[in-house]
Amino acid sequence: MSQEIDIMNYDEIIDELGDNHIGDVTRTPLRDDAFELSNAEKIEKIQENVRQIMETLGLDLTDDSLKGTPKRVAKAYVLELFGGLDPQNKPKLSTFLNNYQYGEMLVEKNIVVYSTCEHHLLPIIGRAHVAYISKGTVVGLSKMNRIVDHFAKRPQVQERLTRQIVKALQEALGTEDVACIIDAKHLCVNSRGVKDIESSTVTAEFGGAFKSVDKQKEFRDYIKLETKF
């Protein structure tokens, strides 16, 4: 009986941590052998696991609509949704000299975020806003979008994702003056549990000069600007 109580308490603790979206490190939790299998081998194993899940749910995998689903899911997991786990897929953040001597913040706003909640493997959909102040080098604008996309393509918590984006740009640009704000909807909240379709989650990471309240306000003011063309 005591063992059953301990197990129940453990499950309750895990559920509570998941609902609170706790994430206090920038490192994605990966095993040391995470890349020993090839992508093809991973797809094969995941395909069989998905097949077992669907059969357990009572689905008829001989149906034309379902028979290809296990392989489609496996390919999507390995090559698309979780492709950001593979360090070989990390975009190269080539930098250039700031020959224009531009000394104000540069903001790339409304970067689309498609990620996956690591607690329920349900989608996270939102927007990221990224800014930096050059200390002598600049990075191509599209690279900021690509680095967001790279870290988003993992099982994630939004807090970690925000910090990973900032850390990667700080390392590439050689400056602490990098900031990121993400506003996203979590389908683990919107489509299950409390089913609150209106709520969204906002996270922020401010480095260097962005720890100043004035810089944070300036950053947020840029985000609010309406882009017309």
Enzyme catalytic residues: 117-120, 158, 186, 188
DSSP reduced 3-state for 226: coil
> Is residue 223 a contact partner of residue 215, using CB atoms and an 8 Å limit?
no
Provide the 10 A C-beta neighbour count for residue 171.
11
> Is residue 158 a contact partner of residue 22, using CB atoms and an 8 Å limit?
no
Alpha helices in the chain (DSSP H): 2-19, 39-56, 69-75, 141-152, 158-173, 187-190, 213-224
The span from the CA of 65 to the CA of 127, in Å, is 33
- DSSP calls for 100-159: T---SEEEEEEEEEEEEETTT--EEEEEEEEEEE-SSEEE-HHHHHHHHHHHHSSEE-HH
Among the listed residues 118, 206, 203, the one whose alpha carbon sits nearest the alpha carbon of residue 169 = 206
E strand or H helix at 31 = none
